[in-house]
Amino acid sequence: MLTMTRRLGFSAAKADWLDHLTSEQNHTLFGETASPEPYGHNYTLDVGVKGEIDPRTGMVINIKILDNLVKERVISVLDRKFLNRAASEFRETPPTVEALTRFIVQKLRDDLPSEITLASIRLEETPLLFSEWQLPEKSEGLEQNKFEKEEEIIVQITHVYEFSAAHRLDSPHLTESENKDVFGKCNNPAGHGHNYVLEVTIAGQIGANGRVIDPVDLDCLVKKEVVDRYDHKHLNEDLEDFSAEIPSAEVITKTIWTRLVNQVPAPARLSRIVLRETARNIFEYRGEEN
């Protein structure tokens, strides 16, 4: 099968507030962002579908058919709307980016042509926050309405962070000449630096607060274990993390995973770490089981 992804967009407002709750309950649920006043985002939606290439058209699906379906079932409901009141699904559960992702999955998966399967949804609220859903492997080949019940839908939420750090690539297992040959300019004795971009992805079911994990808790965890620890440091000289290892981007990526994986509160779990060292060097780790 072949997968194709179509990108669309919509603009909408929402409030971190549920009308049926008291002010105290809303502040407990949403924390410092609790307010009945709306704020908006320009959302970017990627819809992935998979199927065999139709020999008559050379396409998996006619883009016009997919566009019309998404516009009818999703865009027309959400675009330029106050999301808290746009659909009944958001009367009890706030329209977080995770809840919106689940809503879109439910609206699209049963109405695609029979030979096409909804494969993925990616919804970006801001460049620093996006949510994803992917068709579970066990669901391959099953009818759309059988592959997941609402309470079983697993959504991934990604927060993006930045830190700047210096390092030197130098191996004690190589000679001075070999180190220069292998690492080139990156073997400079004074080191060199990068502005790292870190993506931390958490997977799980959506709770009553519309979230997979409390965003404040996640930000505090990553800030403590990674950003504050590594930012404006020389990784070789300032940190014990790399005293016995070369702080290559590969090693940094796995080290960040190790620092976070056992600290994510259940039932959520760490799903993926992506480290962007440069625009051309990107590293991803999902744990040894993946």
Residues 203 and 155 sit within 8 Å (Cβ to Cβ)? yes
Question: How many whole angstroms separate alpha carbon 216 and alpha carbon 219?
Answer: 5
Residue appearing with tokens 């066990």: 138
Length of the chain: 290
Q: Is the dihedral of CA 280, 286, 289, 290 positive or negative?
A: negative
- The residues annotated with a catalytic role in the active site are 186, 232, 277
Q: Residue 155: in which H helix or E strand, if any?
A: strand 155-167
State the CB neighbour count (10 A cutoff) for residue 287.
Answer: 14
Q: Which residues contact 171 (CB under 8 A, 6 or more apart)?
A: 178, 179, 182, 246
Going through 60-99 in order, the beta strands assigned E by DSSP cover: 81-82
Q: Residue 98: in which H helix or E strand, if any?
A: helix 97-108
- In the DSSP assignment, the letter for residue 277 is S
